[in-house]
Chains A and B, each alone.
Chain A
Amino acid sequence: MANKTILTGWGRTSPSAAELLRPGAEAELTPLVLAPGGRGMIARGLGRSYGDPAQNAGGLVLDMTGLAAIGPVRDGYVTVEAGVSLHRLMRELVPEGWFPPVTPATRQVTVGGAVAADIHGRNHHADGSFGSHVTALDLLGADGVTRTLTPDDPDFWATVGGMGLTGVITKATIRLTPIETSRMIVNTWKCADLESVMTRLTQADLAHRYTAAWVDCLSRQGRGVVEGADHARQGAARSFRARGFEASPGFLPVGLLNRHTMGLVNRGLYATTKRESTQVRPLASFFHPLDRVGHWNRLYGPRGLVQYQFVVPLGAEQTLMKIVERIRRSHAASFQTVLKRFGPGSGGWLSFPTPGWSLALDFPTTTKGLAWLLDRLDELVAEAGGRVYLAKDSRLRPELLPVMYPGLAAFRERRRQLDPRLVFQSDLARRLSL
């Protein structure tokens, strides 16, 4: 196979080589699926998954960003091709008064990726995950046939959260959120310890559509800042402008992100936050903190970063606190630590969100003892009936996956029925035996 490209996820760990093709039309996909080669293929969007789900060592990777048509909005629904980014969707639709039903902390994800990872955002407790707002999707199967799936079809729920392994998602119809302005009314509370962060977050969930908390894992008490927000209903006109640096400055020395610098930054952030405040902020500034600096993942140096996100059920608060304490004691420094309460899951067989507490952390890969620490955290999470997020995973022990995902057995079986030759393959699928 000629022209191999080295691909990684956003965490820049585990690079692998694949042939990268960028189809410009859906019709170009079918012949590729029918003649997959020995190592199969996987669809890739904008490469924002942290680990290896959009890599396929020795095989084919389909860059889907060439399939990027946006249909007209009808009664609050829009049909788009899988390679459309949420960024473009916002740029085109916010002025018309529509917002994507779910957005993660970056706009740089495609709709196909959003379905495949069944992504969530700050409104999960109120609105659920991305898959809950998809009313139909087109899936190109291993047999070369494109089927339109609706939530009535079990294969729809194998595909939502299915990490691209049931076929190539080519189109999706999404229910949009109507907005009156492009501003957010954001309430902020500063909390001195983890317990009050959790209490405040629980209260905020009752009153606000969008909530999340930042937790200072390096502080003894696990202090943090809770945000609760809603779309502003009156005032500013609808426009979508996103500001940010194109790329992170290249001259920053590797190792700048360490426990000491992060401790200082955290202390500064906490100190400069008012005890309680209400602000009006533009959409992007509230939703997409990760887009402020392009390629911020390069700040972690050539060895990259390891993201760790888990959810434990409501009632497992003790486990959550134990984990935060364990991380603090290990001196592993997480730069962006986000706590969120999830509402009910979507029904995707491998979908991540389940009702409970979700904590997302990121560590430099070179953190001493990190592999060992995360293995221990996995055990605590699994014991509590929780799970880790496949779109962020890059190192889970495969044997814990069936414990964390009861839907895995059904998924494996259905995948082998739909795709007996395993045309759809990824490094993630090989690593975790999906």
Chain B
Amino acid sequence: MKNAFGEPQSLLLVGGASEIAMATAMRLVRRRVRRVILAGRPSPARDAAAARLAEAGASVETADFDAFRVEEHAKVIGDVFADGDVDVALVACGLQGDAELDPLKAADVAMVNYVGAMTAAIVCADAMRRQTHGALVVFSSVSAGRPSPSDFLYASAKSGLDAFARGLTEALRGSGVHVMVVRPGFVRSRMTRGVTPPAIATSPETVAGAILDGLRAKSEVVWVPGILGQLTRLPGSIVRRITG
């Protein structure tokens, strides 16, 4: 349950521990979050993330979640909610992919970024509707609205997820559940190391800060940095040049 200051106490990270998800989790743990559930594939990265969060003072649980195995999502995530209310869930399943037009690789990108993320979000949304509270944070991307030759497979999947999340926002209005779509621009992280950042780039810490602000303000769409929201009116070719 959130406290009188609106601070969440439990957090579910779906899709493992990306830098953005971890930066957000660490900030929330430094506030009031005490129970963290890492739902992702068993891996040294998941263990390391669990250790870091535990060191920060959280009681950490793990759940074996695989974005590809959609038939398991209801059970895996359902069990997490059965053990106690979840105040915030971050759905951050992500697979960058590349520009290669390989149908199977493209299917993987769509499965992780769109299908798996969507089914996980549906299970979370349903559980939160029953508990009549909670915030569901869905990671989209600025590229969802601006596909480029280098990332349009990823962008197309994020575009589907983005549309789903905005629809879910409407569907859950009045239920007590807060759905928030996060659209970061280019994020300087391990994943983008070696890539020359565009004029407007951001960092995992900045995205995490924006997510916390959005949770507090109950925002429905969060652009990071915020200026990106203003750029949508410009022609795509110009925006591409600034945001990468």
Q: Assuming the A-B contacts A4-B132, A57-B133, A430-B85, are A399 and B4 also in contact, with contact meaning beta carbons closer than 8 angstroms in the complex? A: no
Q: Which residues of B contact A329 (CB under 8 A)?
A: none
B108 contacts chain A at the CB level, 8 A cutoff: no
| B132 with A14: CB separation less than 8 A | no
Contact A431 B3 (CB under 8 A): yes
Q: Determine if A17 is an interface residue (Cβ-Cβ < 8 Å).
A: yes
Inter-subunit contact B176/A57 (CB<8 Å):
yes
List CB contacts (< 8 Å) of B113-154 with chain A. 130-133
Q: Restricting to B1-26, which residues have a CB under 8 Å from any CB of A?
A: 1-7, 9
Within 8 Å of chain B (Cβ to Cβ): is A91? Answer: no
B166 in the interface, Cβ–Cβ < 8 Å?
Answer: no
- Total residue contacts A-B, CB cutoff 8 A: 62
User: What sequence of 0s and 1s flags, for each residue 214-233 of chain A, a beta carbon within 8 Å of any chain B beta carbon?
Assistant: 00000000000000000000
A18 close to chain B: CB less than 8 A: yes
Q: Give the CA-CA distance A125 to B9 in the complex, in Å.
A: 37
A365 in contact with B133 given A16-B176, A17-B176, A398-B34 (CB within 8 Å): no
In the bound complex, what is the Cα–Cα distance between A17 and B134 (angstroms)? 12
- Nearest chain B residue, comparing its CB with the CB of A4: B132
- A58: which of B9, B84, B133 is its contact (CB, 8 Å)? B133
- Bound CA–CA A306/B5 (angstroms): 9
Contact with B along A421-434 (1 / 0, CB 8 A): 00000011011000
Which partner residue on chain B sits nearest A366 by CB separation? B5
CA A357 to CA B7, docked complex, whole Å: 30
Chain B at the A interface: mostly helix, strand, loop or mixed?
loop
Q: Which residues of B sit under 8 angstroms from A304, Cβ to Cβ? A: 4
Q: Report if A431-B132 is in contact (Cβ < 8 Å); known contacts: A57-B176, A399-B34.
A: no
- Report whether A39 and B3 are in contact in the complex, using a CB–CB cutoff of 8 Å: no
The listed residue with most A CB atoms (<10 A of its CB), out of B2, B5, B84, B130, is B5
Count residues of B near A (Cβ-Cβ below 8 Å). 17
- Which of A39, A51, A397, A430 is B4 in contact with, Cβ under 8 Å? A51
Q: What CA separation (Å) do A14 and B3 show in the bound complex?
A: 6
Within the complex, the shortest CB–CB distance from B46 to chain A, in Å, comes to: 24
User: With A16-B176, A17-B176 given, is the CB distance from A58 to B4 under 8 Å?
Assistant: no
Look across to chain B and name the residue whose beta carbon is closest to the beta carbon of A431: B1
Which of B4, B9, B130 is the most central at the interface, judged by chain A CB atoms within 10 Å of its CB?
B4
Set of chain B residues within 8 Å of A427, measured between Cβ atoms: 1
Residue A49 at the B interface, CB < 8 A?
no
Is A11 touching B132 in the complex (CB atoms < 8 A)?
Answer: no
Interface membership of A52, Cβ < 8 A: yes
Contact A57 B4, beta carbon cutoff 8 Å: no
The answer, yes or no, to whether A135 is at the interface (CB within 8 Å) is no
**Residues A18 and B132 in contact in the complex (CB < 8 Å), given A13-B4, A57-B176, A398-B9:** yes
Contacts A57-B176, A397-B32, A430-B85 hold; do A371 and B5 have CB atoms under 8 A apart?
yes
Q: Nearest chain-B residue to A18 (Cβ)?
A: B132
Contact B1 A57 (CB under 8 A): yes
Can you pick out 21 interface pairs between chain A and chain B where the beta carbons lie within 8 Å of each other? A4-B132, A11-B4, A13-B4, A16-B132, A16-B176, A17-B133, A17-B176, A18-B132, A39-B130, A39-B131, A57-B85, A57-B133, A57-B176, A58-B130, A370-B5, A371-B7, A395-B4, A398-B34, A399-B34, A430-B85, A431-B3
Q: Which A residues lie at the B interface, using CB under 8 A? A: 4, 11, 13-14, 16-18, 38-39, 51-52, 57-58, 304, 306, 365, 370-371, 394-399, 427-428, 430-431
4 closest Cβ contacts across the A-B interface?
Answer: A394-B4, A13-B4, A431-B1, A58-B132
